[in-house]
C-alpha cells in the first residue's frame, strides 16, 4: 500500500522512518476520535521507544495520507499500555 505524507506530518520533528518503525512493531489502530470518516489513528512506538500518535486518512485510490505524527498524550499512552496487556 502506498503512503503519502503531508507536510504537516513532520511539524513535530518526526520522519517517515518513525511511521514505518511504528508499523513494524505492536500498534493500536482506532477510528478517528473525532468521528471523521476514513480517518484512523495509530498508537505505537518507534525503534527508540518513543510513544507516537499518528493520524492518517484513507484516500479514494486506497493510498494512505499521513498528516499528523506526534508524541502520545498521557491518556493515549495509558490506552496503548492497556491494549498491550
pLDDT digits (tens, 9 = 90+) for 67-83: 999 999 999 999 999 98
- Give pLDDT, residue 13: 97
| Residue 57, domain extent | 3-84
Please choose, from the candidates 70, 65, 55, the residue with its C-alpha nearest in 3D space to the C-alpha of residue 10. 70
The DSSP call for residue 73 is: P
Q: Which residue has the cell 520533528?
A: 13
Tell me the CA distances in angstroms from 13 to 9, 20, 24, 58, one per residue in order: 9, 15, 20, 23
As a whole number, mean pLDDT of residues 26-49 equals: 91
- Report the share of the chain in percent with pLDDT over 70: 99
Say what the pLDDT of residue 37 is.
82
Considering its fold, how many domains does the chain have in total? 1
Amino acid at each position: 500500500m502506498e503512503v503519502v505524507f503531508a507536510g504537516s506530518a513532520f511539524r513535530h520533528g518526526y520522519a517517515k522512518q518513525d511511521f514505518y518503525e511504528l508499523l513494524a512493531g505492536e500498534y493500536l489502530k482506532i477510528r478517528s476520535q473525532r468521528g471523521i470518516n476514513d480517518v484512523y489513528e495509530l498508537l505505537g512506538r518507534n525503534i527508540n521507544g518513543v510513544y507516537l500518535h499518528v493520524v492518517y486518512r484513507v484516500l479514494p485510490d486506497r493510498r494512505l495520507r499521513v498528516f499528523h505524527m506526534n508524541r502520545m498524550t498521557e491518556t493515549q499512552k495509558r490506552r496503548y499500555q492497556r491494549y498491550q496487556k
